[in-house]
């Protein structure tokens, strides 16, 4: 593994004890002799970081340390100009399913990872394009999922869905989730979808509150392209707002007959882990998998 000489540091802005947290992390990084660049916007007001050089667009670093929950990770990935830079994630959010290190482990685990004792794990990204007629009106990417859902008005959507050009179903539902294996433990799981191991190259299609018992979640090959057209319904009392959301953070309004085309991105996100295949341990620790609760 490439020697880590320069580390970038970004974090969730509203961590209550962020001065203490950042100071602990900086102390470890400095003791290991690495150069540290900080996200000035999100370390503003922290005395421990005021003399550090600024992390500019997360470029020129061998490792990006992300302090927060999964949402902070999604934001950091979107801001990465070079997506090949590995991420080391320290949990200071909620469940933090993607996080590798808890804050209490920083002094013991972080030095080991900086010394090359970790492993790199790649996770796939989704590539999403929206077409209005022949014109592409939106492009984006997601680690967890793309969600097509209704807005404030509770009315069923009609989503005509095909896979590799072959008709699959017209979902009559509150929405549809298209998830990666990484996202299979997030919104898709809450909506009744299966857990998929992250080493599998697959996509999960999970309808949200479908109006038919025959419309269940389905797992398809990861190399397939999914196209969803928002159909215009008959006998509408009002126009319902339909939204496209990526990882719960990026929003785009959809119109009738817009087509959402989703496939695996050629790029991957890389995480620095302490050991290979911690997925089952993560299920047990963070989702209480198999416990009687």
Q: What is the DSSP string of 163-201?
A: ETTEEEEEEEESEEEEE-TGGGGTHHHHTTPPP--TTS-
For the question of residue 70 being annotated catalytic, the response is yes
**Cα–Cα distance measured from residue 181 to residue 194, given in angstroms and rounded to the nearest whole number:** 9
Catalytic member of 39, 62, 70, 174: 70
Element (H, E) at 265: strand 259-273
Nearest to residue 92, comparing CAs of 46, 40, 24? Answer: 24
Nearest to residue 70, comparing CAs of 177, 5, 157, 145? Answer: 145
**b vs e for 243-267, b when ≥16 Cβ sit within 10 Å of the residue's Cβ?**
ebbbbeebebebeeebbbbbbbbee
Q: Which residue has the tokens 């509408």?
A: 236
Nearest to residue 264, comparing CAs of 199, 186, 179, 205? Answer: 179
The residues carrying an active-site annotation are: 70
């Amino acid at each position: 593994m490439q020697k880590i000489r320069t580390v970038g540091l970004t974090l969730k802005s509203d961590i209550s004890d962020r001065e203490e947290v950042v100071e602990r992390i900086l102390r470890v990084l400095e003791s290991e002799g690495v150069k540290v660049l900080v996200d000035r916007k999100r370390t503003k007001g922290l005395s421990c970081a005021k003399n550090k050089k600024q992390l500019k667009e997360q470029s020129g670093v061998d490792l990006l340390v992300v302090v927060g929950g999964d949402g902070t990770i999604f934001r950091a990935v979107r801001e990465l100009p070079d997506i090949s830079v590995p991420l080391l994630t320290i949990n200071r959010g909620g469940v933090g399913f993607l996080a590798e290190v808890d804050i209490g482990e920083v002094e013991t685990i972080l030095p080991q990872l900086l010394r090359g004792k970790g492993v790199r794990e790649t996770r796939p990204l989704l590539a999403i394009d929206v077409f209005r007629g022949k014109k592409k009106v939106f492009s984006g990417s997601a680690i967890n999922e793309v969600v097509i859902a209704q807005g404030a008005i509770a009315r069923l959507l009609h989503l005509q869905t095909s896979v590799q050009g072959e008709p699959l179903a017209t979902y009559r539902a509150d929405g549809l989730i298209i998830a990666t294996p990484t996202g299979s433990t997030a919104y898709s799981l809450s909506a009744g979808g299966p857990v998929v191991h992250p080493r599998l190259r697959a996509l999960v299609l999970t309808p949200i509150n479908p109006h038919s018992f025959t419309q269940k979640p389905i797992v398809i090959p990861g190399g397939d392209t999914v196209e969803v057209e928002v159909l215009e319904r008959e006998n509408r009392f009002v126009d319902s707002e339909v939204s496209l959301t990526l990882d719960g953070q990026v929003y785009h309004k959809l119109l009738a007959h817009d087509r959402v085309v989703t496939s695996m991105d050629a790029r991957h996100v890389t995480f620095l882990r302490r050991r290979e295949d911690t997925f089952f341990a993560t299920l047990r620790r963070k989702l209480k998998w198999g416990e009687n609760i």
